């Protein structure tokens, strides 16, 4: 259902009219700008629950990996998270997209992946005389993360294969 309806343009100084759409849908302003859903307590709980699970998983992996000079666990976590974020839109489209997207995206994967630990590790490596490892960690996380996200997105959006009998 198209949420846009014909309305007169807003007068100078007035806020654009917002079309009324069913709860849970996005509002489309006359200007064509989409405004986000209103903030709901249930949405915050979904993000918080996902974030707690993601952070706990990350911590468990960090502990299991132990202390190493090169932070392999953080690199792996961020690459896996980037791949999952690439796949997420297709998974969320399977049903109840908004709730799954909140739990999995900013929740689980937001808590699981970590830019702050990555940046701190790069700084620590550089500060302790391991500039080459710092550069490697920086480049590997960015490069592998971008490739993993692109691969996840590509795999999630593959066109259906033609039947073999054609």
For residue 23, the model assigns a pLDDT of 45
pLDDT for 89: 82
Residue 30 CB contacts under 8 Å (≥ 6 apart), including other chains: 7, 9, 10, 16, 17, 19
Residues of the chain with pLDDT under 70: 1-37, 95-96, 159-166
pTM (whole model) above 0.75: no
DSSP at 70: S
The two beta strands, 34-35 and 27-28, are: antiparallel
Report d(CA 114, CA 139) in Å as an integer: 15
Give the pLDDT score at 33: 64
Tell me 11's DSSP state. P
- What are the sequence ranges of the domains in the chain? 10-38, 41-156
**pLDDT given for residue 8 in this prediction:** 53
pLDDT score of 157: 81
What is the reported pLDDT for 91?
72
Nearest-angstrom CA–CA distance, 109 and 85: 7
Cβ-Cβ contacts under 8 Å for 75 (sequence gap 6 or more): 137, 140, 141, 144
User: What was the pLDDT predicted at 90?
Assistant: 78
| pLDDT at site 22 | 43
Each residue's pLDDT tens digit, 86-129: 988 877 777 657 788 889 999 999 999 999 999 999 999 999 99
106 burial (CB, 10 Å; 0-12 / 13-18 / 19+) is middle
Query: How many Å apart are CA 112 and CA 81, to the nearest integer?
Result: 7
Contact assessment for residue 144 and residue 81, using Cβ atoms and an 8 Å cutoff = no
């Amino acid at each position: 259902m198209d949420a846009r309806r014909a309305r007169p343009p807003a007068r100078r100084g007035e806020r654009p009219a917002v079309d009324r759409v069913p709860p849970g849908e996005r509002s489309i302003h006359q200007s064509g700008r989409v405004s986000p859903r209103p903030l709901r307590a249930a949405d915050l709980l979904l993000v918080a629950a996902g974030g707690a699970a993601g952070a706990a998983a990350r911590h468990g992996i960090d502990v299991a990996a132990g202390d190493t000079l090169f932070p392999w666990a953080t690199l792996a976590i961020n690459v896996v998270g980037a791949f999952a974020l690439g796949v997420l839109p297709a998974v969320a489209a399977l049903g109840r997209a908004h709730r799954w997207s909140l739990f999995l995206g900013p929740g689980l994967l937001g808590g699981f992946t970590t830019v702050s630990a990555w940046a701190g590790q790069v700084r620590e490596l550089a500060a302790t005389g391991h500039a080459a490892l710092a550069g490697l960690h920086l480049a590997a996380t960015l490069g592998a993360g971008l490739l993993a996200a692109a691969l996840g997105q590509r795999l999630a959006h593959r066109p259906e294969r033609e039947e073999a009998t054609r």
